[in-house]
Amino acid sequence: MPLPWVLANEALPEPSQALCEPNGLLCAGLDLSAARLIEAYQKGIFPWYSEGQPVLWWSPDPRMVLYCDAFRFHRSLQKRVRAFHADPSWSLQISRDFVGVMKACAAPRSAQSGTWITPAMISAYSGLQRLGYAQSIELRHGDELMAGLYGVCIGRMFFGESMFTRVKDGSKIALAALIKLLVNEHFTMIDCQQQTEHLALMGARPIPRQHYLEQIKDLCQRSPPDWSTRSLDWP
What is the tens place of the pLDDT at every residue in 55-69? Answer: 999 999 999 999 999
Query: What letter represents residue 121's amino acid?
Result: M
CA-to-CA distance for 35 and 131, rounded, in angstroms? 11
What is the tens place of the pLDDT at every residue in 119-159? Answer: 999 999 999 999 999 999 999 999 999 999 999 999 999 99
Percentage of the chain beyond pLDDT 90 is 92
- Mean pLDDT across 172-180: 97
Give the pLDDT band of residue 43 (cuts 50, 70, 90): very high
CA-to-CA distance for 86 and 106, rounded, in angstroms? 30
Position 109 scores a pLDDT of: 72
Beta bridge partners, 136, equal 150
- Mean pLDDT across 33-43: 99
C-beta neighbour count of 154 within 10 angstroms = 21
* Alpha carbon separation from 144 to 165, 173, 197, 215 (Å, rounded): 12, 16, 29, 37
What is the tens place of the pLDDT at every residue in 181-227? Answer: 999 999 999 999 988 888 999 999 999 999 999 999 999 999 999 99
pTM above 0.75, yes or no: yes
Position 81 scores a pLDDT of: 94
CA-to-CA distance for 138 and 124, rounded, in angstroms? 20
- Using an 8 Å Cβ cutoff, are 44 and 38 in contact? no
CA-to-CA distance for 41 and 47, rounded, in angstroms? 9
- Using an 8 Å Cβ cutoff, are 68 and 187 in contact? yes
Going by DSSP bridges, is the β-strand pair 25-29/5-6 parallel, antiparallel, or unpaired?
A: parallel
Domains of the chain, start order: 5-60 (3.30.70.3550), 64-229 (3.40.630.70)
- Mean pLDDT across 101-128: 87
- Using an 8 Å Cβ cutoff, are 66 and 202 in contact? yes
